[in-house]
Each structure stands twice: as structure tokens, then as C-alpha cells.
Amino acid sequence: RYFSGLKPGVAANPGQPPDVHSGRLIRNKSHLEQTHICLGTTSPPVASEERFCAHLLSTILGGGMSSRLFQNVRERRGLVYSIYSMLNLYRDAGSLVVYAGTAHDKAAEVVDLVLKEFGSLRTKLVAAQELKRAKEYVKGSVMLSLESSSSRMTHLAQQLIYYGRFYKLEEILDSVERVTARDIRNLANRIFDNSTLALTALSSRNSRDLNTVAIHV
């Protein structure tokens, strides 16, 4: 009754993806107790068929306490207070970013270890058990996100805006399940490229180590 007079709009043209290149930005701020690091690269856009693969790659890398970064950098080496990866998907582009909070004198070492994990995903296939665990994590997150009415309606609106149709839960779960270890390695080889890796950091001390650490896989 209230919206019947509205005319359908025209879908926005996503245009061309932004020109992406590697970079480094280090800033200092006094009285910080730790150094905050973001190391990231490009990822497929929100409507890409590779979005499910990207979510699994991010989960394996730094999604939760069983992820590679949490186990290798935080638990085994004790180098960070917090570390995780996050996936930001938009209509024209996306980004995969690793955040870490660490002591000032450990920052360069943390960056180096994260880059090694990038390289490992490029060269080695994810083990079957690790991939299965990541799939269960992602599928569980999807199902939990649909439990409330507000989140379900937001989910439906996003689908209509970005995909032009509604996806059934079974379709989403099946798409996650179809991703293979080879798909993840292929995506890792494309996005973890030296030409698109970018490092930003905020620290309270001289950041000479972060200014000189090599950003390549």
C-alpha cells in the first residue's frame, strides 16, 4: 500500500575495478601499547562466483582459533595479542586483509610470518581435513546469521541488490561444498601477488623495521 507507487530503479553500473598496486603506509602515534598492522590484497567482488572460495580461503588463513595464523603466530610463537583475516566484498572489487596487534619489536617478524602463510597457500593444496573444517565453519556461520528476522531480511535485500535474485540456503551451502583445494590454491596464486600486496601500520615507536621489511611472497 505504501510503496506501490514507486517505480523500479535501474541497477547501478559497477564500472571498472579500481587500479590496485602495492604500497606501504606507516604512521606513528604516541602512547600506543602495541603496533597495529593490516596486510592485505585484492579479492573477487561480491557477485563473483569465486566469493565462496574467497570466504573459505580467508577462514583457513585467519578465521577463528583453528586458523593458520591464530595457531602459528599466536599460539605457537606468542607474537601477537590478536590476529585474524577479514574479507570485504563490494560491487566492483574486494579486499582480503589480515589484522594483527603485536609488540613494537615483533611487528616485522609478524609481517614476515603472514607473508609466509600467503606463500604456503599459493604453493600447497589445503589438506582435506582442514578444508572440511573450514567448510563447516562457513556453513555454520551462514545458518546462524539467518536465525533472526532482521538479519534474514538484510540478507534477502543484499541478494536482490547484488545478484538480482534470491538464493536458497541449500544453494549457498552447495556452493560452499563444491569448492576444492585446487580452487583455493588457484585463487591464492592470483590474489597473493606482489604487485597488489599492501601494508599499513600504526605504532608509537620508530617503525624502521616495518619500513624496510620485504613485502613479497
Q: What is the pLDDT of residues 109-130, one digit of tens each?
A: 999 999 999 999 999 999 999 9
- Spans in the chain with pLDDT lower than 70: 11-12, 14, 206
Cα angle, residue 171 at apex, residues 167 and 176 outer, rounded to 5°:
120
Beta pairing partners, 97:
40, 86
Return the pLDDT at 5: 87
Return the pLDDT at 11: 67
pLDDT tens digits, one per residue of 55-84: 999 999 999 899 999 999 999 999 999 999
> Which grid cell is 12?
547501478
Global confidence as pTM: 0.89
Beta carbons of 90 and 161 less than 8 angstroms apart: no
| Sequence-ordered alpha helix ranges (H) in the chain | 51-62, 68-69, 107-123, 128-145, 149-163, 169-178, 181-191, 208-212
Distance CA 41, CA 20 (A): 9
